[in-house]
A and B are shown apart, each in its own frame.
Chain A
Amino acid sequence: MMLPYDSAFNPPAPVLEIVVGRPQATHIETHVRAQVDPGSDITVLPESVAEAIGLQRAGDLETEGYDGVVTCWPLCVVTLTVADVTLPPISVVVMPRSLAILGRDVLNHFILALNGKDLTFELRDP
């Protein structure tokens, strides 16, 4: 199913709602909007999501931004449901952001089609 780009971004960007769950606790989950970002190695969740479902820290990870700045962030293990597909548990980085970022660790589970002409996109599980 083709989804619309989010026109709140300039230029519009592919954003969809995902479900984040605590590992081994299927009833503890929350929803968050996530931006599709094939440039990111790893998926990022907002702190508010970690707080909403009481995620516990399981380590940390260094990230390098566009400016080469290296920062250390909390790392948590979660379950993600993206485009109606529940993925195996995965480690994610937690940052003070409003939107989640879907990196290639998640996107590589799917066929991703970006139709910039129509401002629509599709994430499909082959």
Chain B
Amino acid sequence: MVKIMTLKETRTAYSLSLDKADLTQTPLIVEHEGEAVAALVPITEYRQFEAWRKRQATSLAEPDDAFERERAAFERLKPQLLKTHRGKFVAVVDEQVVDLDTDRVRLVLRVYDRFGYRPIYVQIVEDHLPRVRLPSVWIAR
């Protein structure tokens, strides 16, 4: 359950008389003049939040320079790849084709083994991108 503490302006420094259990188990909302102004949360939750915020900064929805470079490299290399590897999946890392396979997932996992978990561009070498049907999906924008 969330606890609420009211903050009052004084000339003295604030002190909180809460035991450790209070601070490690439940959030504490600090109010000033009837308005919630801050929250104390267990340090584990704060660290999870910090990690989440860091990940937000590199959201999949945002343009990712590293990923876009790999995709651009694929498009650049595609005319040549169509002559040599049509119908196969290729993996682009650091703007170079590093591996190929007939199976997308197998190729992705092999590239992660070799280069670590990072943005990569794996695509089938065909004239057009593969397309799948999602007739009932609603997108929240």
Total interface residues in chain A, CB < 8 Å: 44
Beta-carbon contact of A97 and B137 below 8 Å:
yes
B141 within 8 A of A: yes
- Please determine whether B60 and A51 come into contact, CB atoms closer than 8 angstroms: yes
Inter-chain contact B129/A65, CB cutoff 8 Å: no
Q: Does B60 lie within 8 Å of A50, measured CB to CB?
A: yes
Judging by beta carbons under 8 Å apart, are A63 and B140 in contact? no
CB pair B108–A40 under 8 Å, yes or no, is: no
Binds B, one of A41-49, A108-116, A118-126: A41-49
A101 B137 Cβ-Cβ under 8 A: yes
Judge whether A1 is part of the interface by a CB distance below 8 angstroms: no
Q: How many angstroms from the CA of A39 to the CA of B135 in the assembled complex?
A: 7
B137 near A56 with CB under 8 A, answer: no
Interface flags for B51-84 (1: CB within 8 Å of A; 0: not) read 0100110011100100100010000000000000
Q: Mark A71-110, 1 if CB is under 8 A from B, else 0.
A: 0101011000000000011110111111001010000000
Q: Interface stretch among B6-14, B31-39, B113-121?
A: B113-121
A17 lies within 8 A of chain B by Cβ: no
Q: Are B119 and A56 in contact (CB-based, < 8 A)?
A: yes
Complex interface: chain A residues within 8 A of B71 (CB): 60
| Residues of B contacting A60 in the complex (Cβ-Cβ under 8 angstroms) | 71, 123, 129
A-B CB contacts (within 8 Å), total count = 120
Q: Are B108 and A58 in contact (CB-based, < 8 A)?
A: yes
For the complex, what is the distance from the CA of A119 to the CA of B24, rounded to whole Å? Answer: 42
Q: In the complex the two chains form, what is the Cα distance from A58 to B123 in whole Å?
A: 9
A47 — which chain B residues lie within 8 A by C-beta? 59-61
**A4 in the interface, Cβ–Cβ < 8 Å?**
no
A76 to B135, CA, bound (A): 20
Contact of A91 among B105, B118, B133 (CB under 8 A): B105
Contact A56 B117 (CB under 8 A): yes
- Give per-residue flags for A46-68: 1 if the beta carbon is below 8 A from chain B beta carbons, else 0: 01001110111111111111100
For the complex formed, measure the closest distance between the CB of B93 and the CB atoms of chain A, giving whole angstroms: 11
User: Which one, B55, B112, B118, B134, contacts A63 given CB within 8 A?
Assistant: B134
- A95 engages B129 (CB within 8 Å): no
Could you tell me if A24 and B61 are in contact, using CB atoms closer than 8 angstroms? no
7 more contacts with CB within 8 A, not counting A58-B122, A77-B109, are: A37-B137, A50-B60, A61-B130, A65-B135, A95-B139, A96-B139, A101-B136
A-B contact pairs, 10 of them (CB 8 A): A44-B137, A50-B60, A51-B60, A54-B55, A56-B117, A59-B104, A60-B71, A77-B105, A95-B137, A97-B137
